[in-house]
Chain A
Amino acid sequence: MMMLLSSAALLVVNPGETVDSMLNASAEAVELCINLCGIYAVWLGILEILDASGLSEKLAKLLKPIIKRLFKGADEKVHKDIAINMSANMLGLGNAATPYGIKAMKGMDDGSGVATKPMIMLMVLNATSIQLLPTTTIGLRASAGSQSPADIILPTLISTFITCLTGICLVFICNKIFKRKRG
């Protein structure tokens, strides 16, 4: 729908550029995917080692109190993937977190075509991801000639933390509202 709307708008403004920009974006997507393929290969390889050595189970056990509460009704098996996904997110490794997140989502799918509560929670948590170290931003800022590129860490931490809590509360509230509507 978004595409239709934008294309329609373009027809009026600048018809020649429609196809150009679409193809450009698509080429960019290919580039991104090739990059992602490399990143995923490394992290999925390490995940396999984590799994085989039993470390991922330990991590899941460590985070179990949190995960159990946030992802009520999720299968025990998915806990591992969620644990790794959350840890990677916290370290600021968004791209490393993705394959584990996808795996967890797959594991939580009940085939009904409607997102389950734990799935929504995982999605919102990933969208608000707590980031302990905003490395990319600091790097960019330093190269732009900032005097103290790291002085955004504290406000970022506070903001990201509050946002994450807001997200969790929102999902819980929505869960309650929807339950009532269905019942």
Chain B
Amino acid sequence: MSAYIVPIFIIFVLLYASYKNLNTYNIFVKGAKGAIELVVSIFPYIVAIMVSVALMRVSGLTDLITKAVSPIFNFLGIPPEVSELVLLRPFTGSGSFALLNDIFTKYGADSYISRCACVIMGSSETVFYVATVYFSQTKVKKLLYAIPCALICSLVAAVLSCLLCRFM
């Protein structure tokens, strides 16, 4: 079903625009032109975040943190098998999907662990990536409580996911 939503939406937009007698082609091209500028301006920020994440993984810092917090996670009902995912999720989208795949092959796609992991993936976002990219075009240097709030939400999502998967 979801496969239809986006195409239908696009067709609707185009139809509506022609009904309004607009030159859709010219307008589309004008808008698309902005993409290169946008990507060029966010590029350095993406490089910075991806390099930092890679360094953290290779250096073993991630493993260390995982080990350090897994007792806390255990207490909150998050199984140790998914705690790496919970930690990695805020940093990288592609990395966490790769990890999700690992979990599938290791524990089977229908296991409790895998279902937990799926729900975690679905209900949280790449917080640091979103923060860097969204604020990259502004002059903002102080994010105040934006990141802590978002991270607490991710943790809530993880705890909830594991709890819900137990019953459903």
Residue numbers of A with Cβ under 8 A of B are 2-3, 5-7, 9-10, 13-14, 17-18, 21-22, 24-26, 28-30, 32-34, 36-38, 40-42, 44-50, 52-55, 91-94, 98-99, 101-102, 105-106, 108-109, 111-115, 119-120, 122-124, 126-129, 131, 133-138, 140-141, 144-149, 151-152, 154-156, 158-160, 162-164, 166-167, 170-171, 174, 178
Contact = CB atoms under 8 A, between A and B. Distances in A.
Interface of B: 2, 5-6, 10, 13-14, 16-17, 20, 22, 24, 27-32, 34-36, 38-39, 42-43, 46-48, 50-61, 93-94, 97, 100-101, 104-105, 108-110, 114-115, 118-119, 121-125, 127, 130-131, 133-146, 149-150, 152-154, 156-157, 160-161, 164-165, 168
A37 B38 CA distance: 8
11 contacts: A2-B52, A3-B55, A32-B46, A33-B46, A37-B36, A46-B28, A49-B22, A127-B124, A128-B125, A134-B122, A155-B119
B100 A140 contact: yes
Nearest to A53: B17
Given A113-B140, A115-B144, A128-B124, A54 B164 contact: no
A40 B38 contact: yes
A44 B108 CA distance: 40
Nearest to A24: B54
Contacts of B152: 166, 170
B28 A102 contact: no
Contacts of A17: 58
A37 B46 CA distance: 13
A137 B89 CA distance: 13
B130 A149 contact: no
A46 B133 CA distance: 21
Nearest to A47: B31
Contact of B32 (A41, A93, A137, A149): A41
A154 B20 CA distance: 40
Given A131-B122, A159-B123, A48 B153 contact: no
Contact of A46 (B2, B13, B53): B13
A178 B144 CA distance: 9
The B interface, classified by DSSP as helix, strand, loop or mixed, is helix
B123 A160 contact: yes
For the residues of A in contact with B, the DSSP-based class is: helix
A6 B160 contact: no
Contacts of B131: 123, 127
Contacts of B137: 102, 105-106
A99 B38 contact: yes
B92 to A, nearest CB: 10
A128 B35 contact: no
A33 B39 contact: yes
